[in-house]
A and B are shown apart, each in its own frame.
Chain A
């Protein structure tokens, strides 16, 4: 016998309202999809959330699984940290920019290092040609770190440092500067990015092979639990995965799976999960598809809470709570009509705030052209201040909670991420998946599909493939010449003449020794730093023991 199910309310609406309306005036002939290509229905109702359970799927802010946020008061208590990433030229030039940002109301520092520093090369290496001080500040030794934070009280501010392969060396320098200023390591707070997996996956600033790189990270976990307990030891980053061309879902899935890998390696190294997991934080991109991004942040909190409690058996609630920094999507900035970027950035920043970000960087309007001018960097900070002070969105916790559409998207993001987890778990973990090129291939495919959609004008980018303006006037930019490079090269020569080179050699020998054995590398690194060994020398010592990673280029 055939049972005829009764028409649902949504079906009734479709029959009575939608069909006649479509006959009269059809919808626009454009793909109704998110920027990641996910099809979006025209209307979401309670019928799109069958079996939805408030306590299980959402719960209240501050309660497991934290979908609605980790703080019961949202931004009514404390606003997000307005943390603007900056660095260029010599340490002195960057120090001056930091003082400007702090004076303008910035509430945290964020250091951008130049490519030689990021790659563990001194300025006199052949691959450093033309790169010194260009994309960030050049830091060769402790002397530069002292110049960078001159007049800034490290005990009274939090600093985020975007450094990965040489994270232990740069972190050691920061600790020694803090020590010299009289700050107590026990109360010192800040973040090192220290996320090598996304370097293999996306940004490609790796030095050592994956397993040796993971050992440096677990060394930092272990060191910090006793020495610098408030420090955020890793910022597991989706930002670069997204910038490399992934979809929103891939960003979510690969980032959280990277997080799982770090926790697993920490546990395998003999650490108690609750001794280090609370200091793990995350870093996401905020791209242009407003609701898809908001759903991503909400899903991230929910998945992480479950993973930590149920996969790792963490008991401390702080281990369950996912805290994250957000940066608006650099890749969406256009060189054409640069003022349009202010609007893009404001919308992306708003999505991050509605998703409950704990910290935020807003890009400057001129960053598709060069590093930002001081004026552009100030306007980017003002964008955050306007959202915080004027828009009213900070009055309420998780204002979109309960939206049929946002909740559906959040559940779908969660499901999609778990499907990726299964694939990666079957490969043996993220290190193995990377060795097989899996996330790299997924991202390359997604980025090519996106570029083709732009070429076909299925995706419109204002000022690039529509609303194009001919003969735009040139935009004023920050031009970084070779002065910083000349200064740093001269300083390097001088440093090698004036320091105790025998002492440097012995500290580097001790580092090699630790790398060959099981000793925590942070302690010998602190000695290297105190002897004014350079970033290049410390990384070279480890290169000698561990070798360098080379990827197989895929197109």
Chain B
């Protein structure tokens, strides 16, 4: 079965700074992926429900507020509960060095800091989504 890569881009937590989320959503779409942007103020439960409903291959979380150590592990737990462990999870935002190893241990595959080229993120998603998806 082949189809376009489906990506849910989400802004969890209370923060409304959505410039990064919108730019990356548009870049992934322009690169040929199906992008579902959830909008603002999503709880981990809402994000996982969106991934399930949209049959997402990847979830991109944009977090600038410092809440990543609470939000990401919760998203990963919920994905496992719903049997969605093969969904690729990446985050972009302001993430201190000391948290990167912990987030990777929790199952977050890609962590993109300020200044990352859009192409790097596009390539990473394309290379790391579950294999049944056609590569763009």
Contact = CB atoms under 8 A, between A and B. Distances in A.
Contacts of A334: 114-115
A455 B67 CA distance: 29
**Interface size range of chain A in the complex:** 35 or more
B82 interface: no
Interface stretch (B9-17, B83-91, B103-111): B9-17
Contacts of A243: 17, 19
A489 to B, nearest CB: 13
A245 B16 CA distance: 14
B16 A451 contact: no
A203 B26 CA distance: 19
Contacts of A447: 19, 22-23
Contacts of B114: 334-335, 368
A176 interface: no
Given A118-B14, A477-B96, A479-B98, A335 B113 contact: yes
Contacts of B27: 451
A205 B41 CA distance: 10
B39 interface: yes
A383 to B, nearest CB: 21
B30 to A, nearest CB: 9
B40 A553 contact: yes
B97 interface: yes
Contacts of B19: 243-245, 331, 447
B96 A555 contact: no
A493 to B, nearest CB: 19
Chain A interface SS verdict (over half): loop
Contact of A555 (B16, B26, B43, B118): B26
Interface string B25-45: 111010000010111110100
A49 interface: no
B65 A464 contact: no
Interface in B64-79: 65-71, 74
Contacts of B66: 130-131, 134-135, 370, 480
Nearest to A128: B14
Nearest to B63: A130
Interface stretch (A119-127, A208-216, A513-521): A119-127
Contacts of B41: 127
Nearest to A205: B16
B94 interface: yes
Given A451-B23, A551-B39, A553-B38, A129 B70 contact: yes
A477 B113 CA distance: 15
A553 B37 contact: yes
Given A127-B14, A368-B114, A464-B115, A444 B70 contact: no
Contacts of B134: none
Q: Which 9 A-B pairs have CB atoms at the shortest separation, nearest pair first?
A: A204-B16, A130-B70, A130-B67, A553-B39, A134-B66, A115-B14, A335-B114, A464-B115, A555-B25
Given A135-B66, A447-B22, 14 more contacts: A115-B14, A129-B71, A130-B69, A130-B71, A131-B14, A199-B16, A204-B17, A206-B16, A244-B18, A334-B114, A335-B113, A370-B94, A448-B22, A550-B39
21 contacts: A119-B14, A127-B41, A127-B43, A129-B74, A130-B70, A131-B13, A131-B66, A134-B67, A135-B65, A204-B16, A204-B18, A245-B19, A334-B115, A369-B96, A448-B23, A455-B117, A461-B115, A479-B98, A554-B22, A555-B26, A555-B29
Interface of A: 115-116, 118-119, 121, 126-131, 134-135, 199, 203-206, 243-245, 331, 334-336, 368-370, 444, 447-448, 451, 455, 461, 463-465, 474, 477, 479-480, 550-555
